[in-house]
A and B are shown apart, each in its own frame.
Chain A
């Protein structure tokens, strides 16, 4: 069979663009994991929550104002989570915190749907989904826009963590809670900030994915898609999240198109997980994850 290189590059490019959007979701996980050692399973419901809040605010006020409104909501949410859940659970095993975030996920999912209903809503951010051609390759405008926003946010966050005072404080906290406390970094504030940033990332992911797929329950599943990204890239690495996202986006697209027909299709849903399992054999801590050395 002759390979149609144009088609291959089309599939690859759309995979890369979607991959960047996966990276964005994965980044939400990485940020919280790095700063507080918590694997936040509630990232998906947070995305849903943010997207629903945005849609309902958009019905009342213009885009700029409603963005600010949702930002405020996410910061308040972050503060509440820190106060109600994280503070009583300080110094408990990571798995306990993880399960607490599963509970939080259920709670947020129920809350979002109790307030805004279970009906899917459209989210119109003024981007048309007509593809354009570049050197003969079809590219979706929506994907390009999403990838652009993701790229800017990713770059901004890397800059924030490397260059600003607060960002460095957060990295110190992620290295060692006690050492960070002893040099005078307020742990509680650091956690609130991290969760607020994760909320903002959730909002961005909610906008991009909401505009693509509509705002509904299925947004929480996007977060599940981001988990193989984490495994491949490593739980505590920002570059890992980006590279992992690109690998997942590209490979699932290529696999669906070229392997899919021979096994009955629908392999997009689990292919990233399969890939992640393979990566786990070779690198148990992901491509860029920090290896944990255990001592008795």
Chain B
């Protein structure tokens, strides 16, 4: 009952522009935040936080970045993992080798990734669709080669791994799982709030007009040059920050092998399952894809657990592929759309007319 508004009662511009027009949504959001900040670290054990919740947060951030580019601006990218790699190496090198403070070096890694992403976004001005998708694949291969073959980046070690030194933020040592969780949570929440507002702004609307029809949007005066490249820049900035975080709090090293083409597809799968063009969708999709292998192995073990490990991995691949197809056919806007449907029903309930 308290979830509805029986009419458009917005009287001020401020109300009209609110992020959460419905009070219950706002409270729901704050409750989730309080839960994430105060309850999760004390309820969940270290295993859950370190191997499920932290990767979930970081992949959500990266998926959000891809969603800006693909879901909002309509430019399909198959090289997102490579931009994450740039961010990871960039921030680890800045922090470890040049002793730049953590937050600055994370930012620096993101900026480097944004610059590289913009560079690979240049073809989008001239080409679109599949040609563009393939040229973003080029980013994946070229960056992979550049990182493994450049001594300056990879440090000349085996497998191009650069280890992260112990992490200090303003002199505060981040060593336990819970501390790492807080670091990633703070950064993710800040970036998501920024992102949510970005897509509600002029920029977000420009992106959506490009997605819906770029020729038409150019005619009404949306600069393709500016907004397409901006989409690439913001998207790879998010990827870079996510990559840097991943290197610092999850892998404890920047390693190119973690940022393979496979991850690019996985991120694309996340936003398809979660919902293209939806901030919430990036989170739902990431949660889904991170939890999927866990769920499958639980289910298999409850059936008797006779499956060997590699069969399990292949089963996961099959289910992942099947889910992408399923969502594209049945619910093209993903899990986020399901939530919106529920919300629309609730708004009108109990008088649906």
* Contacting residue for B216 out of A94, A263, A296, CB 8 A: A296
Q: Which of B59-67, B280-288, B321-329, B338-346 has 4 or more CB atoms under 8 Å from chain A?
A: B321-329
Q: Chain B binding site: helix, strand, loop or mixed by DSSP?
A: helix
Query: Given the complex of chains A and B, what is the CA–CA distance between A85 and B325 in angstroms?
Result: 7
Query: Given the complex of chains A and B, what is the CA–CA distance between A295 and B218 in angstroms?
Result: 12
* Contacting residue for A99 out of B127, B138, B328, CB 8 A: B328
B142 on the A face (CB < 8 A): yes
Tell me whether A100 and B126 are in contact (CB under 8 A).
no
Q: Chain A binding site: helix, strand, loop or mixed by DSSP?
A: helix
**Which residues from 79 to 105 on chain B have a C-beta closer than 8 Å to any C-beta of chain A?**
none
Query: Given the complex of chains A and B, what is the CA–CA distance between A83 and B318 in angstroms?
Result: 18
**Which residues from 142 to 182 on chain B have a C-beta closer than 8 Å to any C-beta of chain A?**
142, 144-145, 148-149
Q: Which of B23-31, B129-137, B196-204 has 4 or more CB atoms under 8 Å from chain A?
A: B129-137
Q: Which of A54-62, A125-133, A222-230 has 4 or more CB atoms under 8 Å from chain B?
A: A222-230
Tell me whether B321 and A88 are in contact (CB under 8 A).
no
Tell me whether B268 and A102 are in contact (CB under 8 A).
yes
* Contacting residue for A105 out of B126, B131, B134, B321, CB 8 A: B321
Query: Given the complex of chains A and B, what is the CA–CA distance between A230 and B149 in angstroms?
Result: 27
B332 on the A face (CB < 8 A): yes
Told that A84-B325, A99-B324 touch, could you supply 15 new A-B pairs with CB distance under 8 A? A98-B76, A100-B325, A103-B324, A106-B269, A107-B322, A110-B314, A114-B318, A270-B144, A274-B138, A274-B142, A276-B134, A280-B123, A280-B135, A294-B215, A295-B215
Tell me whether A277 and B138 are in contact (CB under 8 A).
yes
Can you give 13 A-B contacts (C-beta < 8 A)? A89-B328, A98-B133, A99-B268, A100-B325, A103-B320, A108-B321, A109-B317, A114-B311, A264-B149, A265-B149, A269-B145, A280-B127, A286-B131
A74 on the B face (CB < 8 A): no
Tell me whether A117 and B123 are in contact (CB under 8 A).
no
Please count how many residues in chain B sit with their CB below 8 Å of the partner chain's CB atoms: 44
A42 closest partner in B (C-beta): B321
**Which residues from 225 to 265 on chain A have a C-beta closer than 8 Å to any C-beta of chain B?**
227-228, 230-231, 235, 263-265
* Contacting residue for B323 out of A103, A276, A281, A296, CB 8 A: A103
* Contacting residue for A269 out of B130, B141, B316, B318, CB 8 A: B141
Mask of A262-288 contacts with B, CB within 8 angstroms, 1/0: 011111011001101100110011100
Chain A residues with Cβ under 8 A from B219's Cβ?
296
Mask of A26-54 contacts with B, CB within 8 angstroms, 1/0: 00000001000001000000000000000
A104 on the B face (CB < 8 A): yes
B3 on the A face (CB < 8 A): no
**Min CB–CB distance A225 → chain B (angstroms):** 10
A218 on the B face (CB < 8 A): no
Known: A102-B268, A107-B322. A95 touches B76 (CB 8 A): yes
B272 on the A face (CB < 8 A): yes
Query: Given the complex of chains A and B, what is the CA–CA distance between A118 and B216 in angstroms?
Result: 49
Query: Given the complex of chains A and B, what is the CA–CA distance between A266 and B318 in angstroms?
Result: 32
Known: A114-B311, A281-B126, A296-B216. A99 touches B131 (CB 8 A): no
Known: A107-B322, A109-B317, A110-B314. A277 touches B123 (CB 8 A): yes
Query: Given the complex of chains A and B, what is the CA–CA distance between A98 and B127 in angstroms?
Result: 17
**Min CB–CB distance B322 → chain A (angstroms):** 6
B315 on the A face (CB < 8 A): yes
Query: Given the complex of chains A and B, what is the CA–CA distance between A130 and B10 in angstroms?
Result: 81
**Min CB–CB distance B121 → chain A (angstroms):** 12
Tell me whether A39 and B130 are in contact (CB under 8 A).
yes
B213 on the A face (CB < 8 A): yes
**Min CB–CB distance A283 → chain B (angstroms):** 10
**Min CB–CB distance B133 → chain A (angstroms):** 7
**Min CB–CB distance B86 → chain A (angstroms):** 15
Q: B133, B261, B321 — which one has the most chain A CB atoms within 10 A of its CB?
A: B321
A8 on the B face (CB < 8 A): no
* Contacting residue for A284 out of B127, B142, B216, B268, CB 8 A: B127
